[in-house]
Amino acid sequence: MGTGAEVNLNHPSPLAPGWLSYPDNVNRLNPALWARDVDRPADELTISGLTVSDLAEQYGTPLFVVSEDDFRTRARSFKDAFDAAFADLCGGVDVYYAGKSFLCTEIAHWVAEEGLRLDTCSGGELAIAIRAGIPGEHLGLHGNNKSDAELGRALDLKLGRIVVDSLPELERVAALAAARGTIANVMLRLTPGVHASTHEFIATAHEDQKFGLSLADGESSPAAQAVAAALGHDAVNLLGVHCHIGSQIFESEGFELAARRLLAFLADVRDRHGVELPELDLGGGYGIAYIETDTPRPPAEIAMAMADVVRSTCAKFGLRVPRISIEPGRAIVGSTTFTLYRVGTTKTVRVDVEGGDTAPRRYVSVDGGMSDNPRPVLYDADYSAVLASRSSDATGVLSRVVGMHCESGDIVVRDVYLPADTDAGDLVAVPGTGAYCWALSSNYNWVPRPPVIAVRNGQARLIVRGETEDDILARDIPRTNN
């Protein structure tokens, strides 16, 4: 650990990325990154009044901590914002929570209790939805390669929608439904040639990806062929079309262009087949703040912009406004959760910088890593972190929070200023880990997956039990000695 003078020489660090500002107070919480009931009333980080050290003592670390109130509020505010924006167009919006971002039975209950529906994309996600008692008509099933077993289960549950991804799948769904004497509720997943992320989108005609039916090539497009085929099947109830243009999107332009292209397609379907399909799903992808420079727009603003486009495009084509649905995942669960880690070892390395100088980077090793949050490894995702078990008077030092796995790429937070005295035994909390962290977790290095707790009204409870060494040994097949 450096002396004050040495530390001061290096702040702001020449190693810091351009977006990272030097904190005037390392103990301050940026409210944009944290669940609403996370606070630092004295030294320690608390959630709904519970201290992180008590939570760590009771449940161990690493630990996923979900704010139930924050989840419910975000779910409701998406539903309310889109309902309000589309009220006079199509009577409101169906919001499907994208279960793949994070799903367990308790979360499924919250989703249903707040008036949302649930998107699934596998038999396992369907099983959780069923355990939570969600009625089939409030469920969707996605996927580019659904099995007959998954499709059959969806049909037996009378799912509200099966989002069909390809022509062969359409034929399989029709045959499975006919064999059961039932009718499949089908949406067609189309690829509108719009890809969006954060502040940019690109628009093309052709798509080069595994999902969906292409809109390119007009009357002979896969999308047009699928509509004709679906309308010809007695066992298929074609509800409408669907698209999903990307993830972690901050601006509404990409959604607007996709809506325009899909509505033009629906007008085409009407002209050719004399059918006005009743539904349009504009997918998910709404962004959240992971770091201080992330500035997602509030759901109400995006909803209004999308409603304007739907209104004007439908008017242009003389099209009845279809019932709109959306599928936010990350934007509902992402910011509700933080991960609590215990610091094990620390070290400072000197890194060469321009002009022949070196600058310090502090490595703070925690007791989890890429097995509970693979997003930095998979997507170069940025996160932030704070020293959580106490406050500190030390200056901030450019730090890298790293995991305990046998990979040098095992990074949890690439760049953050942590107090220079952060050390073994301290708890570090990483906000924004609700989406695609636990859901993507693994047993890499045979590390047990951590538990998830929900906190509400000053009470914590387990909603996903953590794995133990016994769980790991139970799946490993020992030699029989006889």
Ligand X SMILES: *Cc1c(COP(=O)(O)O)cnc(C)c1O
* Residues at the interface with ligand X (CB under 6 A): 98, 100-101, 142, 244, 247, 283-286, 327-331, 435
In order of 135, 159, 408, the CA distances from 106 in angstroms are 15, 21, 35
Bridge-based pairing of strands 323-326 and 279-281 is parallel
Q: Which of 317, 313, 321 is nearest to 278 (CA)?
A: 321
436/100 Cα distance (integer angstroms): 8
The one catalytic residue in 90, 104, 406, 437 is: 406
Q: Choose between 191 and 247: whose C-beta lies nearer to ligand X.
A: 247
| Nearer of residues 233 and 330 to ligand X, judged by Cβ | 330
Determine the angle formed by the axes of helices 123-131 and 105-113, rounding to 10 degrees: 60
Nearer to ligand X among residue 284 and residue 403 (C-beta) = 284
For residue 253, the minimal CB distance to ligand X (Å) is 16
Residue 4 assigned to a binding site: no
Collapsing DSSP to helix, strand or coil, 297 comes out as coil
Least spacing, CB of residue 285 vs ligand X, in Å: 4
Distance in Å, CB of 323 to ligand X, minimum: 17
Is there a binding annotation on residue 328?
A: yes
CB of 100 to ligand X, least distance (A): 6
| Strand order through the sheet with 50-51 | 38-39, 46-47, 50-51
Under 8 Å between Cβ of 220 and 182: no
Q: Which alpha helices (H) appear in 352-441, and where do they start and end?
A: 375-379
> Is 379 marked as binding a ligand?
yes
CB of 71 to ligand X, least distance (A): 14
Phi-psi region at 91: left, alpha or beta (left = phi > 0; alpha = psi -120 to 50): left
The H or E element containing residue 301 is helix 299-317
327 is in an annotated binding site: yes
* Pick 101 or 337: Cβ nearer ligand X: 101
Question: Could you give the residue ranges of the DSSP H alpha helices within 114-165?
Answer: 123-131, 148-156
Q: First CA to last CA across the chain, in angstroms?
A: 57
Q: Does 124 appear as a known binding residue?
A: no
Measured distance CA(431)–CA(44) in Å, rounded: 15
* DSSP-derived pairing of the beta strands 358-366 and 337-352: antiparallel
Question: Is 406 designated active site?
Answer: yes
Choice between 289 and 460, CB closer to ligand X: 289
Assign 443 to helix, strand or coil: coil
Give the residue with the Cβ less far from ligand X, 59 or 338: 338
User: Quick one: tokens of 276?
Assistant: 């006005």
Nearest CB to ligand X, comparing residues 79 and 400: 79
CA distances from 169 to 176, 266, 434, 462 (A): 10, 21, 32, 39
Is 254 flagged in the annotation as binding? no
| CB of 74 vs ligand X, minimal distance in Å | 12
Whole-number Cα distances in Å, 97 to 43, 108, 126, 142, 334: 36, 9, 13, 12, 12
Residue type at position 438: W
Q: Does 478 show up as a binding residue in the annotation?
A: no
Residue with structure tokens 């093309």?
A: 204
Give me the least distance between CB of 259 and ligand X, in Å please: 15
Q: Binding site annotation covers 2?
A: no
Residue 207 known to bind ligand: no
Which residues have a catalytic role annotated?
Answer: 406
Report the binding-site residues.
Answer: 285, 327-330, 375, 379, 407, 436
Report the binding-site residues for pyridoxal 5'-phosphate.
Answer: 285, 327-330, 436
Report the binding-site residues for substrate.
Answer: 330, 375, 379, 407, 436
